[in-house]
Structure 1
Amino acid sequence: MKKFVLLIISVFVFISCGKELETVTVKSDTSELLNAPADSVYTEIDPAQDDFVHIRFGEIAAIESLDPLFASSNSEWRVMNLIYEGLTGLNSSGNPSPALAKRWEVNTDSTQFTFHLRTDVYFHDSPAFENGSGRRFVASDVRYAFERMADNDVPDFTANHFSDIRGFVAYHSEQTLVKNPDKRVFNTIEGLKIRNDSTVVFFLNKPSSDFLERLAHPMASIYAKQSVPAGNRLIQKAAGTGRFTFIKKEGNAHLLTQNKAYRGFTPKINRLDIVSGLEEKDLYQQLARKNLDALIEVGSSTLMSVTDSTGTLLDSFTNTFQLNQTSTYSEYSFFYNRNSGQRASVNELISNADLENLLPLSAMGTVTTNTVGSADGAEPDSSRQLVITQTVHPFEVFFLDRLATRATNMDFSFSMNASFALYDDISLTTRPYPDTEKFLSWKSPVYILSSPAISGISITHEPWNISLVSVKKNGGSE
């Protein structure tokens, strides 16, 4: 069993020590709502000219970087979906469609995928390039993105999405276990072949019916090698090929502008500010003060404040906001660590805590549970202390606060570790690490709360698949 040796980790107890996870309640009283501390408010921007369209969105989860391989929330994947492209995208029906690949062929058993790449695509102009000018996208960029995905620095749960590419696991394992590059055997991923600058072939270990869909996910985005800082650190200055170009980060906002060289239709948005990293109540206050035009993926506390149990906007807000329930859902999953030996305790919680009715509003979606098995050769213990790895995502924190209350009522203690890492004495996690199994899932509808002046924000088929091509803003840059 693994043990802590050098790392001393503090534990924040939700309930058992008398302190709950903080649940933010958004006030409906406008006078109280607007009394936000000055340092929590996103700086207002002076109006521009009437023909300059400036849109400002608030995202519920913090956007920590612009690196597709390290993103862990739909907030991050949505901004990446605007900046980057993959080999495929999703069309209006939710099916794979050409993106950086203009066409492809698949063999009869779906184990070989040949992609013919566009030759007219250039990366955005960016300080990542020596002369500031974006270069042409070529097949070697695809190879670089996937080899970096298999690098030892990349989270396993990201790499696992493409572990069926022939040789991917071997390459990833060697990168992880053999620290000295001179002693490594594999120079590349066996099942990824570059025929020329515009042709890439993937060979899979087994037939795959969803490979094209997986390539459309933002984690499979293609980016310029030059945008990756030395030492393979996280991308902060993006160089993609999408409809929007990254300008800079200013405070809590990532500033984007339209890519005028984009080959397809581009939104008539001159500047797009995506604000993140604020408390949920502060995001709401910024929307109410018209410093933001929309909140993408409305937080649970906000939803409880502005809607009834069915998700209908309360009459007192109908002249102030418009609420759109998209056709998509975010899934927040919780996993049992088999190595913790707490199968009996977790199953007791599942059986007796009425977790399917954990959410206060039906508009918040549905909760499903699964009984867990035990690890091979591990006997379940009688510990009633449940510990979960660290999470900072507002939806997960909201849910765990309610779960902790139920657990305490059943004489469990429930606490959160200060680390994201999974050790044998950690019971639960929000990430699909090896030797874990899903025991709880929350399927949460994605709502957009916006000013009445904004229309055309679209999120379809997947919670990260945001489109702004039809966005209009009455009153210009207000």
Structure 2
Amino acid sequence: MRLFLRYAFLTVLACSLVSCGSDDTPGAKSDSTLQNGEITFGGIFRMNEVQEIRTLDPVKMNDAPSHHVAHQIYDMLVDFDSNLTLQPELAERWEVSPDGLTYTYHLRKGVMFHDNPCFPGGKGRELNANDVKFIFDRILDARTGTFGDSYFRGKVKGATEYYEATLKGNAPEGGVSGFRVVDSHTFAIDLLNPFAAFKYYPALGFCYIYPKEAVEKYGKDFFRNPVGTAPSFLRNGARARNSP
């Protein structure tokens, strides 16, 4: 049996955009605004899906509908533009060492997680490199039911050892040795061998960034209580049921 999201409304997702601006509802004026090349902030984002959303826990996502919704809620270190070229997202820049073994990501400052009860006082806090370390370690934690481990095992230093330890119910202190916090806004990944295509891996959907507090507060229900840094957040409508 597996849990997945069933949404109580046709449009599957109602996300409130986190921004300042107009409270106008979509309609004829919105169409006119679009034609005039202007941007309307705020409101509700609706999208249709032909399948139900199975999960919003990034490490367990392996279906397109879940990724479509998650991409509105979470950000990654890097992402693809419309030409499938890597572009900065949460990382404002990154570099690769001359030997091709270390990828270093410099995080943007002032990026805030959504306000959520998982934080003290319900106020979101600033993203830092420990958050990035947490989610990359979690991708290699077999106890989460992760689908993303195979991309990093055998490539990142310590990834295979960490995954195999968690298969036995253990979590080595310090997490994956090849995922390193350099300082509060710098994160590094150490490879076992040079692998040019690795630069694309942090743009995989398993690598959406979210806070440890959300996982700890919601536990097994984190999959329907996502907390991210993107312009949208899940407001309501989700409920879970068992499915074979």
Relative to 1, partners in 2 of residues 1:168 and 1:78: Cα closer, same or farther, differing over 3 Å?
Answer: same
Q: How many residues align?
A: 208
Structure 2 counterpart of 1:205: 192
- SS in structure 1 opposite 2:95? strand
Pair 1:151-2:138 in alignment: no
- SS in structure 2 opposite 1:226? helix
Relative to 1, partners in 2 of residues 1:55 and 1:240: Cα closer, same or farther, differing over 3 Å?
Answer: closer
Structure 2 counterpart of 1:176: 167
Structure 2 counterpart of 1:117: 107
Q: Larger RCO: Structure 1 or Structure 2 (Cα < 8 Å, ≥ 6 residues apart)? A: 2
Structure 2 counterpart of 1:322: none
The answer as to whether partners of 1:62 and 1:75 remain within 8 angstroms in 2 is yes
- SS in structure 2 opposite 1:62? coil
Out of 134, 137, 142, the position equivalent to 2:132 is: 142
Pair 1:166-2:157 in alignment: yes
Out of 74, 87, 104, the position equivalent to 2:77 is: 87
The answer as to whether partners of 1:88 and 1:212 remain within 8 angstroms in 2 is no
In structure 2, distance between residues paired with 1:70 and 1:132: 26
In structure 1, distance between residues paired with 2:96 and 2:53: 36
In structure 2, what residue type is equivalent to 1:188? G
CA deviation string 1:347-392 (max 9, x = no partner):
xxxxxxxxxxxxxxxxxxxxxxxxxxxxxxxxxxxxxxxxxxxxx8
In structure 2, what residue type is equivalent to 1:247? R
- SS in structure 1 opposite 2:143? coil
Q: How does 1:361-400 map to 2 (within 5 A)?
A: none
Pair 1:215-2:202 in alignment: yes
1:207 deviates by: 1.5
1:102 deviates by: 0.4
CA deviation string 1:436-463 (max 9, x = no partner):
xxxxxxxxxxxxxxxxxxxxxxxxxxxx
1:41 deviates by: 7.5
The answer as to whether partners of 2:210 and 2:227 remain within 8 angstroms in 1 is yes
CA deviation string 1:175-224 (max 9, x = no partner):
112x3x4xx65532111111110111110112222222221122101101
In structure 1, distance between residues paired with 2:112 and 2:62: 27
Relative to 1, partners in 2 of residues 1:207 and 1:55: Cα closer, same or farther, differing over 3 Å?
Answer: same
In structure 1, distance between residues paired with 2:91 and 2:229: 12
In structure 2, distance between residues paired with 1:99 and 1:202: 17
The answer as to whether partners of 1:147 and 1:188 remain within 8 angstroms in 2 is yes
Structure 2 counterpart of 1:63: 53
Pair 1:246-2:204 in alignment: no
1:225 deviates by: 1.0
Larger displacement relative to structure 2 (54-63 or 202-211): 54-63
In structure 2, distance between residues paired with 1:229 and 1:193: 21
The answer as to whether partners of 1:102 and 1:116 remain within 8 angstroms in 2 is yes
In structure 1, distance between residues paired with 2:230 and 2:147: 25
Pair 1:75-2:65 in alignment: yes
Between structures 1 and 2, the one with greater helix share:
2
Q: How does 1:230-309 map to 2 (within 5 A)?
A: 232-235=219-222, 236-250=224-238
Relative to 1, partners in 2 of residues 1:242 and 1:230: Cα closer, same or farther, differing over 3 Å?
Answer: closer
Structure 1 counterpart of 2:14: none
In structure 2, distance between residues paired with 1:122 and 1:41: 29
In structure 2, distance between residues paired with 1:152 and 1:103: 30
In structure 2, what residue type is equivalent to 1:175? T
In structure 1, distance between residues paired with 2:166 and 2:197: 26
- SS in structure 2 opposite 1:108? coil
In structure 2, distance between residues paired with 1:153 and 1:171: 11
Relative to 1, partners in 2 of residues 1:95 and 1:129: Cα closer, same or farther, differing over 3 Å?
Answer: same
Say what the alpha-carbon RMSD is for the aligned residues: 2.8
1:250 deviates by: 4.6
Relative to 1, partners in 2 of residues 1:68 and 1:41: Cα closer, same or farther, differing over 3 Å?
Answer: closer
Larger displacement relative to structure 2 (200-209 or 153-162): 153-162
- SS in structure 1 opposite 2:120? coil
In structure 2, distance between residues paired with 1:64 and 1:155: 14
Q: Unpaired segments of 5 or more residues in structure 2? A: 2-7, 12-21, 27-43
In structure 1, what residue type is equivalent to 2:159? F
1:228 deviates by: 1.0
1:249 deviates by: 2.7
In structure 1, what residue type is equivalent to 2:76? G
1:157 deviates by: 3.4
- SS in structure 2 opposite 1:146? helix
Q: How does 1:302-341 map to 2 (within 5 A)?
A: none
The answer as to whether partners of 1:165 and 1:204 remain within 8 angstroms in 2 is yes
CA deviation string 1:234-273 (max 9, x = no partner):
5221110112122223569xxxxxxxxxxxxxxxxxxxxx
Report the TM-score when normalising by structure 1: 0.40
Relative to 1, partners in 2 of residues 1:51 and 1:198: Cα closer, same or farther, differing over 3 Å?
Answer: same
In structure 2, what residue type is equivalent to 1:238? P
- Pick the structure with greater CA Rg: 1
Structure 2 counterpart of 1:190: 177
- SS in structure 2 opposite 1:210? helix
Out of 89, 93, 107, the position equivalent to 2:97 is: 107
In structure 1, what residue type is equivalent to 2:117? P
4+ long deviations beyond 4 Å: 40-43, 229-232
